[in-house]
Structures are given as structure tokens and as C-alpha cells.
Amino acid sequence: MMHLVALLATGSLLYASTNVDDLLLLVAFLAHPDYSRAQVVLGQFAGMSALLLVALLASGAATVLSPPRIGLLGLVPLGLGMWRLWRLHRPLPEEAWATRAPVRRLAPMLSVALATISDGGDNLAAYVPYFTVQSRWDVAATIGLFLGLTAAWCLAARLVLAQPAAGPLLRRSGRAALPWIMLGLGVVILVRTGAIGLA
């Protein structure tokens, strides 16, 4: 029992410390009118699942990941931010969107997933060695915990938007703020991981 408590406490601290910035990203996506709550939640889970799968495979192969190369994922939110900024000033006509209904439904979810992967790419440097020293059952419990905490992160972002003081302001500024948050995130990832020299 003590082992499980220690595992959950350590895993929770690891998740929280490596995903603080992801909470801000979730709030920005939820505040943006082009993203439904379902698209944001599904995109977040898809991105986190992809990160956990990579960490699991890398730990199983005892792969040593180069933080600067992982940091090149920062180019993804950078590109998404530039595209969103361009769209902000040059929106597609409504009839053009009408002919792209499947793309319109999937694109927001995909962009959330890609942003989550990019934002969490440098987290692999912490997840891989953590998984490497764990037993198979401990890894399974940690993955379950991380997915549960992902749901908690989505709920926390939703609660921030539900605040009477913050919610309306964030919704009004969501469309204009998201591109800049994505651009800033991309730059931070590139600089923090040392990938700026490889980009």
C-alpha cells in the first residue's frame, strides 16, 4: 500500500511539474470560439497518449533522447501560431469552410493534439528515465494516473473559464490571444531545450 501511495505521489508531482504550461494552453484553446470543448479534450488526450506511447517505447529500448532534437517539436506550435495569426487577419470565406466540413471538425482536434505533443516533447526527457526504472505494473499504474490527471487538467481549464471575473474576458480575447500563446510556446520550447541552435 505504501508503495502505491509513493508511486501516485511521485507520478502526480512529475505530471504537475512538467505540464504547468499545458494548463495555460488548454485555457487558450477552450476560450477560442473555433474549438469545441469535445475537440479540445479529445485532442489533449490524443496528444498525451502519443507522448506516453513514445516514452514507453523509448524506455523499453533504453533510448537516450537528445533534448535539443526533442525540442525541435517547438517548431509545431510556432507554425500553428503563425497560421492562426494569418487566419486572424485573412479568414476563409464561409462558403469555403462549408465545403470542408470534415476538415473543419478534425482540424481543431488535430491542432490541439499537435500542440500537446510539442509542448510535452521535452517532458520525454523526464518520462523516459522514470519509466525505465519502473516495473511493468508500476508503468501501467503511472500511465493510468497520467491519463486521469489529463482529465483533471481539462476540468481545471474549464473551471478557470467558468470564473465570473476571468471567463468572459478570456472568451473575448481567446481568438486574438491563441496565436501569440502558440508562438511564445514554440519559442520557449526551442530555447529551453537548446534546439534553437539546430532549428
Task: Say what the pLDDT of residue 94 is.
Answer: 47
Distance CA 177, CA 199 (A): 25
- Residue 84 banded pLDDT, cuts 50, 70, 90: low
- Residue 97 banded pLDDT, cuts 50, 70, 90: very low
Query: Are 110 and 43 spatial neighbours (Cβ–Cβ below 8 Å)?
Result: yes
| Other C-beta atoms lying within 10 Å of the C-beta of residue 78 | 20
Task: Say what the pLDDT of residue 30 is.
Answer: 87
Over 90: is that where the pLDDT of 89 sits? Answer: no
Nearest 5°: the CA angle 20, 151, 164 is 70
Residues 6+ apart with CB under 8 A from 43: 29, 108, 109, 110, 111, 112, 113, 115, 116
* Digit-coded pLDDT (tens) for 122-179: 677 778 778 877 888 999 999 999 999 999 999 998 888 887 666 566 556 555 666 7
Cell numbers given for 165: 471575473
Report the sign of the C-alpha dihedral through residues 176, 179, 181, 183, in that order: negative
Cell numbers given for 59: 524506455
- Residue 103 banded pLDDT, cuts 50, 70, 90: very low
* Digit-coded pLDDT (tens) for 26-73: 888 888 888 889 999 999 999 999 999 988 887 766 445 555 666 666
Query: Are 37 and 155 spatial neighbours (Cβ–Cβ below 8 Å)?
Result: no
Residues 6+ apart with CB under 8 A from 54: 124
Rounded to two decimals, the pTM is 0.70
- Residue 98 banded pLDDT, cuts 50, 70, 90: very low
Q: What is the CA radius of gyration of the chain?
A: 18
Nearest 5°: the CA angle 21, 56, 133 is 95
Residues 6+ apart with CB under 8 A from 76: 114, 115, 117, 118, 186
